[in-house]
Structure 1
Amino acid sequence: MYRSSSRIRRAPLGRWGVATGILALSALALTGCGLKPATAYVPAVGPGSISPLEDADGVGLTVTSKNFTEQLLLGKIAVLAATAAGFDVTDLSNVPGSQPARNLLVSGQADVLWEYTGTAWLTYLGQEEAITDQTEMWEAVYDIDLDNGVTWGAPAPMNNTYALAVRSEAIADLGGITKMSELAALPVEDRTFCVESEFNSRPDGMNPMLTHYGLERAAADGVPDENIGIYDTGAIYSATDAGACNFGEVFTTDGRLDALDLTVLVDDLAFFPAYNVAPTFFTETLDAHPGLEEVFAEISPKLTDEVLRDMNRQVDVDGGEPADVAFAWMVAEGFITDPAG
C-alpha cells in the first residue's frame, strides 16, 4: 500500500485553501447549470474477483472523468468496479475539461476520479518544478492533496507522458535506436522531429529536452531549425508514420502508436515528468467505505501503457464504445463477470 512521505515539500496552505473554496463554488455552479452524464451507458455487471462490500448496499457513489478517450475508458472501469462492489453508482463521466472534473471531486459532488500525478502536481497544486521519478511524484501529490480532502489510491504502471516515437520500420536504418540518449550518435541529417507548437516553445519542451540529451538547438552539429517540423497534435502521428520526420512527439498511451506501428524511445535520462494515473477519492467517502480503496488497488497494477494503448486504439481507430471496451477488459481480467453469459 502506498502511503505519504515526509520528504515532500508542501505547497503554501493559504494559497490552496482559497483555491479550494473557489473550486467548490465553481463545481456547485457547474451542477446548478444542469451537468448530466453524456455517456452513461454501461453493460450489466456480475461479480468476479470484485464482489459486493458489506457496507456498500444502498449507498450512492458518483464516478466522474474527463472527456477524452482514455478518461472515458477509465471512467467506465471505475463505474463497473464500483457497481460490482455493490454501490448504487451515478455515472458522471465525460465532463469537459480537467478542472471541472477535479472541482466535482474536491467539492464532494463526485467520489472517484482517475487522475494523473503530473496534472495534479503542475496544474491543480501549482508546482513549477516537474518530478520525473514516478514514485516520488505520486508521494508528492498524495501528501499535499490530503489537506484538500482528496486521497490518492495506488498508482498504475501506465504513465501517459510525453515521448518521442519512431516508425518501427526505420529503426534498423537509424542504427537500431531504442533510447533517447542515442539521438546524439545519429548523423545530423537523421535528427529530424515532428512536434506541436506548444511543445516547441514551452519551457519544459523541445529546447530543454535537446539540452538534457546533449544536443543544441540551431547548432550545425546539433539540431538545425530546418530539422524541426511544426504540426497540429493529431497530425504528428501520421506525419511520423509517413516519414516526414524520424521522431515524433507523442503521448505514451495513444492508441495510434500501435495502429501505425510507431515505437516509443526510452526516456533513459529521465527528462519527461511522470504522469501515472491513479484513482483519487473524496476522502470522506473513503473514510466511510475503506474497502473501496482495495477494490481499485486490485485494478491499478493491470493498467499498463500497453493495455491503455490497446483500449484507446479499439475506441479511436476501430470505433468501439468506451463502455464495451472497458467491460470486455474487466471481464477478461476476471474483475467482473458477464451476467448474460
Structure 2
Amino acid sequence: MNGQIEAALAVLPNYLSQHVVLSVAALVLGLLISFPLAIATVRRPALQTPVLTVASLIQTIPGLAMLALFYPVLLALSAVTTQAFGLKIPALGFLPSLAALTLYAVLPILRNTVAGLTGIEPTIREAARGVGMTQRQRLLQVEIPLAAPVIMAGVRTSAVWTIGAATLATPVGQTSLGNYIFSGLQTENWVFVLFGCVAAAALALIVDLMLALVERGVANRDRRKIISGLAVLLVGTFAAVSPLWSGQKAAYVVGAKNFSEQYILAELMAQRLRAQGARVALQEGLGSAIAFRALSSGDIDAYVDYTGTLWTNVMGRKDTPPRDVMLAELTQWMSRERGVTVLGPLGFENAYVLALRKSRAEELGIRSIDDLARQASGLALGADIEFLDRPEWAALREAYGLRFRQQNAYNPTFMYRALTNGTVDVISAFSSDGRIAADNLVVLDDPRHAVPNYDAVILLAPKRANDAILRQALRPLVGAIRVEAMRAANYAVDRDDDKRGPAQAAEELGRAIGVSP
C-alpha cells in the first residue's frame, strides 16, 4: 500500500500540471466563445432558440466520444495543412482534448449569461436610455453588473464540469489526473483510482469555492472578495503548472494501449531508452486505432502492437496465413504503405481466445469453439470493450455461427471478475494474461483458425526508421520475451496480493529475460 501511495505521489506534479493547463485553457476559450454569443442572442432574440439548442445537443454527446471524434478530425486537418503549408498540427493529446472540453464549457456559461441579461427589468434599461447611455455603456455599466451573479453561477458550473471531464482525456493521449483512473482500473490498482478521483474532486472543489467567493464579491460590490478569489486562483494555477516550466521536452515518446501488458512493455522500452541517456515520455491508455494513427503520423515514436490486430484492423485482411507469411507481408506493407518500421517480434503471442472456468467447461463438456457453438444460445459472453466491434469477433461468428444468449462489454479487469463470479460463462481472454492460469481457466481450441496470429511486434514511426539510439535500445527485446515471462509480468501487475506497478514489473521482466538496462 505504501509503495502504491509513493508511486501515486511521484507522478502527481506532472498529472496535475497538465490537467490544470488543459482545464484552464478550455474554460478560458469557453468564456471567450460564450460571452459574445450570449450577447448576440440577447440582441437578436430569433437566434436564442437555435443557439441554445445546438449547445444543448453538444452537451448530450458522451465526453469520451467527443474527445475521440476530434482526433481523426485534427488528423485529417493536419494532413491538409502539412501538404499545403508544411505545417503539422498535433492531432494527439492536447488539441483534441482542448477542442472537446471547450465545447463542453460553453453551455453553462452561455445559458446563464442569456438568462441573466434577459432577466433584467425593462424599466432599468429604459432608465439607462433615458439618461443618454449608448448601447455599449448600458451593456458594460448596467446590464453585465446586474447579471453578474447569474453569469458567475454558470462559470462555476462550467469550471467543475470541465475539470471533471478533463479526466477523460487520457485515451486520446493527453496526460491528466485521469491517468490515475484509467491505469488503476486496468491494473486493479485501487489506490491509483482513488487518488485520481480524490485529486480531481479536490481541484474542482477548490476552484468552485474561489469562484463562489468572486461571485459573492460581485453580488455585494465587494472588491476585496473579488480580488482575493481571483488571486488564489491565479497563484494556484501558476503553482500547479510550474513543473512544466522546469521540465525538458522528451526526445522520444513511447505509446501504450489501455491494458496491463502494454503498460509493462512501454515501461520496459522507456527504461531501455533512458539507459541510453535519452529523455522519454509515455503516452498510455490509447485505443488501438488511435495508437497506430499516432505512430504513423509521428505523434509517438514507438509502441508494441500485435500482428493479428494490424492484419485485420489496419490492412483489412480476412485471411489467416501462417505466422511467418503474415509477418513478412505485414512488414513489407507497413513500410510501403505507411512508412512504419516493424522492428521485429518480441517472441510471444497475445491472441484473442475464448475461455471458460475449468469447472464450467468440464460441466458442459466444452473443449473447442465448435463445442461452444452448440451450447452458446444458453450462455452469456463477456468481452473487453473493443472485441465486439472488431473483425475478429465477426470472423468467429461467421466461422462457428456463435449466437450467445447475452453479450456484455467490460473493462478487461471487470471482464475477468464477471467470469470468476459467474455473471458470464465465456470471455474473450488474452493468451498471455497471467490470470488464465491464476483463475484456473480453460482456453478453447480454434480448429477452424478463424482468429489470426497475434505476435507482439515493436513498431517504429516513419521519422524514426533509421534512429540509431532507438534501434540500439529496442533491438535486444526482439525475440527475447517468452510467453511464460510475459504472463508472469502481467500477473504481477494484475494480482490482488503483493501487487507490482508496471514500472517495477518491467524491471523484473528485463532481469528475467537478460536485457536489464
TM-score by length of 1: 0.66
In structure 2, do the counterparts of structure 1 residues 26 and 257 end up closer, same or farther at CA, with 3 Å as the change threshold?
farther
| Higher RCO, 1 vs 2 (CA within 8 Å, ≥6 residues apart) | 1
Letter in 2 for 1:180: I
In the alignment, is residue 65 of structure 1 matched against residue 253 of structure 2?
no
In the alignment, is residue 74 of structure 1 matched against residue 237 of structure 2?
no
In the alignment, is residue 141 of structure 1 matched against residue 343 of structure 2?
no
In structure 2, do the counterparts of structure 1 residues 127 and 19 end up closer, same or farther at CA, with 3 Å as the change threshold?
farther
Q: What is residue 15 of structure 1 aligned with on the other side?
A: none
Contact 1:73-1:322 within 8 A present in 2 as well: yes
Contact 1:253-1:309 within 8 A present in 2 as well: yes
- The partner residue of 1:28 within 78, 87, 90 is 90
Q: What is residue 307 of structure 1 aligned with on the other side?
A: 485
For residue 74 of structure 1, report the CA deviation from its aligned partner: 1.1
In the alignment, is residue 280 of structure 1 matched against residue 459 of structure 2?
yes
Compare the two structures and name the one with the higher helix fraction. Answer: 2
- The partner residue of 1:212 within 382, 395, 399 is 399
Q: What is residue 232 of structure 1 aligned with on the other side?
A: 409
Q: What is residue 117 of structure 1 aligned with on the other side?
A: 307
Distance 2:266 2:387 in 1: 28
For residue 114 of structure 1, report the CA deviation from its aligned partner: 1.3
In structure 2, do the counterparts of structure 1 residues 324 and 37 end up closer, same or farther at CA, with 3 Å as the change threshold?
farther
Contact 2:78-2:88 within 8 A present in 1 as well: no
Letter in 1 for 2:503: A
For residue 255 of structure 1, report the CA deviation from its aligned partner: 4.2
Contact 2:302-2:460 within 8 A present in 1 as well: yes
Distance 2:81 2:282 in 1: 17
Distance 1:180 1:189 in 2: 10
Distance 2:94 2:354 in 1: 42
- The partner residue of 2:427 within 227, 234, 248 is 248
In the alignment, is residue 317 of structure 1 matched against residue 489 of structure 2?
no
- The partner residue of 2:446 within 264, 267, 290 is 267
For residue 251 of structure 1, report the CA deviation from its aligned partner: 2.7
In structure 2, do the counterparts of structure 1 residues 249 and 37 end up closer, same or farther at CA, with 3 Å as the change threshold?
closer
* Root-mean-square deviation over aligned CA pairs: 3.9
In the alignment, is residue 159 of structure 1 matched against residue 337 of structure 2?
no
| SS, match of residue 479 in structure 2 | helix
Distance 1:27 1:168 in 2: 51
Contact 1:258-1:309 within 8 A present in 2 as well: no
Q: What is residue 169 of structure 1 aligned with on the other side?
A: 359
In structure 2, do the counterparts of structure 1 residues 246 and 66 end up closer, same or farther at CA, with 3 Å as the change threshold?
closer
Letter in 2 for 1:30: L
Letter in 2 for 1:70: E
Q: What is residue 107 of structure 1 aligned with on the other side?
A: 297
Distance 2:486 2:310 in 1: 20
Contact 1:162-1:249 within 8 A present in 2 as well: yes
Distance 1:81 1:198 in 2: 30
Q: What is residue 258 of structure 1 aligned with on the other side?
A: 437
User: 1:238-276: per-residue Cα shift (whole Å, max 9, x none)?
Assistant: 343344565333232344323422121232331113332
State the structure with more CA Rg.
2
Distance 2:285 2:415 in 1: 26
Contact 1:256-1:313 within 8 A present in 2 as well: yes
Distance 2:342 2:273 in 1: 16
For residue 112 of structure 1, report the CA deviation from its aligned partner: 1.9
Contact 2:256-2:285 within 8 A present in 1 as well: yes
Distance 1:95 1:136 in 2: 30
User: 1:6-38: per-residue Cα shift (whole Å, max 9, x none)?
Assistant: xxxxxxxxxxxx899369888624366496667
Aligned length: 285
| SS, match of residue 165 in structure 1 | strand
Compare the two structures and name the one with the higher strand fraction. Answer: 1
| SS, match of residue 65 in structure 1 | strand
For residue 131 of structure 1, report the CA deviation from its aligned partner: 3.3
Contact 1:178-1:266 within 8 A present in 2 as well: yes
TM-score by length of 2: 0.46
Question: What residue ranges of structure 2 are gaps of 5+ in the alignment?
Answer: 1-75, 99-172, 180-249
